[in-house]
């Protein structure tokens, strides 16, 4: 297949310099993922290259990057599937605070995740059997539980770019995951975290998050469910 040029955004906050781009040529025989290429560059050409890595099988959420202008997981992106010929541009998730090279600062992202109380709230404490849940009730969880917290949706959302306090699609999807769970007894305990202008109402259904999600999830759908649930609760007092 020949040589492929990786055009990589570099940055080192400590050095006080501005970000810049650097090209690395990687020889390709057959299959090559962007993650494999980054390791190849780090091992053979530039030991200083910084990027997050872990599972290399699209389940850990470490390697969401902006590759050829789209949100992708580096490990899941085979250059065979890119239509850019022999040049691949690799950047960290845009609009996010940068740490170094392809690594961005996720502290704010996880602060917002924590803010929505992302855990099952139960009134009972007697685990001598499972809490029954029908397959139909369980099916509501199928979409939101597949979130890998990679941050692609968060980085893609114009409401996140323009409002620092907006908790963003990933945290709201997690709130939806628990609110929709038949076992959750939160009632109005979790609701104040998302039923406000820094929560669900800041979503303007631009649906960038849907396009960005490398797991093909639909955060917008979850957020709209939250808005409907809030209205139902106000009008009819129902919590489910």
Residues that bind other proteins (CB under 8 A): 12-14, 31, 42-44, 47-62, 76, 78, 99-101, 103, 105-106, 110, 113-114, 117-120, 122, 124-125, 127-135, 137-138, 141, 145-146, 148-149, 178, 181, 183-184
Q: Please give the radius of gyration of the chain, using alpha carbons only, rounded to the nearest integer.
A: 20
Minimum distance between the CB of residue 183 and other proteins, rounded to whole angstroms?
7
Contact 160, 166 (CB under 8 A): yes
CA distance 180 to 126: 22
Strand-pair partners of 90: 8, 67
Ranges assigned E (strand) in 74-158: 87-91, 98-100, 103-104
Q: Which is nearer to other proteins, 150 or 203 (CB)?
A: 150
Minimum distance between the CB of residue 102 and other proteins, rounded to whole angstroms?
9
Minimum distance between the CB of residue 174 and other proteins, rounded to whole angstroms?
9
**Shortest CA distance to 222 belongs to which of 165, 158, 166, 178?**
178
Minimum distance between the CB of residue 221 and other proteins, rounded to whole angstroms?
18
Q: Which is nearer to other proteins, 65 or 159 (CB)?
A: 65
CA distance 29 to 101: 26
Q: Which is nearer to other proteins, 124 or 237 (CB)?
A: 124
Minimum distance between the CB of residue 236 and other proteins, rounded to whole angstroms?
26
CA distance 37 to 92: 15
Q: Which is nearer to other proteins, 10 or 227 (CB)?
A: 10
Q: Which is nearer to other proteins, 116 or 159 (CB)?
A: 116
**Maximum Cα interatomic distance, the chain, rounded to a whole number of Å:** 65
């Amino acid at each position: 297949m020949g040589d492929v040029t990786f055009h990589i955004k570099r940055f080192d906050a400590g050095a006080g310099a501005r970000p810049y781009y650097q090209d690395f040529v990687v020889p390709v025989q057959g299959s090559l993922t962007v993650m494999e290429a980054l390791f190849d560059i780090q091992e053979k050409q530039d030991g200083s290259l910084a990027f997050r890595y872990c599972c290399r099988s699209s389940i850990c959420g470490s390697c969401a990057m902006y590759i050829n202008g789209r949100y992708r997981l580096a490990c899941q992106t085979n250059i065979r599937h890119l239509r850019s010929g022999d040049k691949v541009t690799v950047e960290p998730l845009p609009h996010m605070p940068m740490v170094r090279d392809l690594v961005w600062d996720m502290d704010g992202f996880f602060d917002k995740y924590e803010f929505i109380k992302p855990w099952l709230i139960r009134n009972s404490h007697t685990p001598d059997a499972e809490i029954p849940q029908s397959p139909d009730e369980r099916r509501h969880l199928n979409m939101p539980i597949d979130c890998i917290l990679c941050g692609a949706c968060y980085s893609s959302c114009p409401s996140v770019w323009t409002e620092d306090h907006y908790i963003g699609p990933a945290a709201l999807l997690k709130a939806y995951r628990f609110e929709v769970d038949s076992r959750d007894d939160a009632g109005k305990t979790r609701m104040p975290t998302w039923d406000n202008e820094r929560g669900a109402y800041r979503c303007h259904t631009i649906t960038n998050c849907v396009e960005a999600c490398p797991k093909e999830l639909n955060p917008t759908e979850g957020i709209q469910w939250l808005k409907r649930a809030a209205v139902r609760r106000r009008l009819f007092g129902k919590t489910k």
